[in-house]
Amino acid sequence: MTAFADLGLSETTLLALQDVGYEQPSPIQEQAIPVLLQGHDIIGQAQTGSGKTAAFGLPIVEQVDPEVPEVQALVLTPTRELCIQVTQALRAYGARKGVDVVAVFGGAPIRSQQAQLRAGGHIVVGTVGRVLDLISRASLVLSDTRFVVLDEADEMLDLGFLEDVEKILRLTPNGRQTALFSATMPPEIRNLADHYLYDPVTVKVKAATLTVDSVEQFRVEVASKDKAAKLVEVLREEGPDQAIVFTRTKIRCDQLYRTLRDKGMNVKALHGDMSQGSRDGVMLAFKGGRVPILVATDVAARGLDISTVTHVVNYDVPTSPDVYVHRIGRTGRVGRSGRALTFVEPRQGKELAAIEKHIGTEISAWSPGAHTKPAKLEERPRRHAKPQISRNGDEPFERVVAGVGHADGVEVADVVHAVTAAAGLDGEAVRDVRVLKRFTLFSVPRAEAEHVVESVDRAELAGRKVRVELART
């Protein structure tokens, strides 16, 4: 098997990868990292969860000079959720080298982001609108930017950002190195690549290899007028731990949310017309496990990368086979099994056939009672019930360390679940979770830090009793 050391990365970066518990490169990393280290432009077609952030992030960290104060790399993301995820990853990769990463996105005070940029920033990760705003205020100067990454370019297209992306690209040096990553490749994205990338190398991870092996796939044949009632039946029969139900439009998303809510289900909606605050609240509730069913449009769900999703339901047949594979890749993560159910109306046989051809397998018909539920995460400890404490967002936080990490199979969601269940906190109280190879760091409100340590210490996490203590320095 290929190791990160075989890809041409420096010793400093390899040590940073050890810190975060990475052992083997994923297919997209194995193909893209050497190409980017050689200075080529790249088109990478890969889904969320394939490891594409490290595929472009590690080469950028390798080539950024921490002694040069100017912005040397720009990563454009379509949503603030993805911006934050990418920023956290790049900070981890560049920690040993002293690389400074600044996140800029809408919905947060622009003055604090301007102050961060004045203080330095070798790499800027930002949403399209906020980047343009900062450029217009002369707070972000891209004249020395040598690397530009367009992450999830197809979502930028869906959100109507492509014209603004082109404005930003025209403000960067002609000699820059550009990487474009996208789950799908519609004509508009191809056209963008033709205009702004120089002789790019195309790297494509076959979608089927990312998801199909770990996901059981079924079709649910149903008339249009019966779809909502059938969905209720399917969800009650399947009993998902967590499910994402994909709809094609925002209006359908809202309608379906109300239908399921009125049937007594614990459900939330997520789509692009919601305010950023509402979207953040829904994302936190779903990621924290407090909401088992999420009805979402493709665009809104792009920032969700959650290993605990057991089911994906395509309430509307996806617009393309690539979108289908991208959707079902939300389940069956990190070695766990998952189930994908696609509702097919009588007139949609052609779309179904195209999907089956793309994934190289026939999708079986679903029937009630003819299945076993996906493998669950181990039951997490619930000691005695405690009142959940709400946050005002201003209190000081304390860092806590737990003696388990990636090597024990622990993920961020596992930590949040364990702490909230044992200590009676709400999900928003557990912040800045960083899972390393042998231990995990997270922050909780300082006033409750001792209580958290007392409650969680020796609780069971990842099948073992875990030691927890304050990370005092």
The 3-state DSSP class for residue 439 equals coil
d(C-alpha 243, C-alpha 246), whole Å: 10
Look at the domain 4-12+20-205 and name its fold: Rossmann fold (3.40.50)
Say which DSSP state 408 is in. G
pLDDT digits (tens, 9 = 90+) for 253-266: 999 999 999 888 89
Report pLDDT digits (tens) over 282-324: 887 887 788 899 998 876 566 566 667 889 999 988 877 777 8
At the second CATH level, the architecture of 210-365 is 3-Layer(aba) Sandwich (3.40)
Report helix, strand or coil for 22. Answer: coil
Write the pLDDT tens digit of every residue in 122-179: 999 999 999 999 999 999 999 999 999 999 898 888 778 999 999 999 999 999 999 9
Residue tagged 């139900």 (tokens): 245
Which residue's entry shows tokens 């996490």? 461
If DSSP codes are grouped into helix, strand and coil, which group holds residue 195?
helix
Distances (CA, A) of 427 to 35, 84, 220, 283, 332: 40, 17, 34, 11, 23
Amino acid code (one letter) for 103: A
Vertex 440, ends 396 and 407: CA angle to 5°? 170
| Token reading at 99 | 């690389």
Which segment of 99-113, 202-216, 267-281 scores lowest on mean pLDDT?
A: 202-216
pLDDT on residue 169? 96
DSSP letter at 125 equals E
| pLDDT > 70? residue 382 | no
- Cα angle 329, 334, 337 (rounded to 5 degrees) comes to 70
Angle between helical axes of 52-63 and 80-94 (0-180°, round to 10):
50
Do the two domains 4-12+20-205 and 397-470 of this chain adopt the same fold?
A: no
Do the beta carbons of residue 331 and residue 312 sit within 8 Å? yes
CATH for 397-470 is 3.30.70.330
Helix (H, G, I), strand (E, B) or coil at 180: strand
Which of 166-170, 221-225, 404-408, 466-470 has the lowest average pLDDT?
404-408
| Residue pair 321/354 in contact by the 8 Å Cβ criterion | yes
Q: Three-class SS string for 230-251?
A: HHHHHHHHHCCCCEEEEECCHH
Residue ranges per domain, the chain?
4-12+20-205, 210-365, 397-470
Give residue-wise pLDDT tens across range 123-132: 999 999 999 9
Q: How far apart are CA 94 and CA 362, in angstroms?
A: 44
Residue that has been written with the tokens 């199909």 in this structure: 212
Report d(CA 457, CA 402) in Å as an integer: 8
Structure tokens at 83: 């911006």
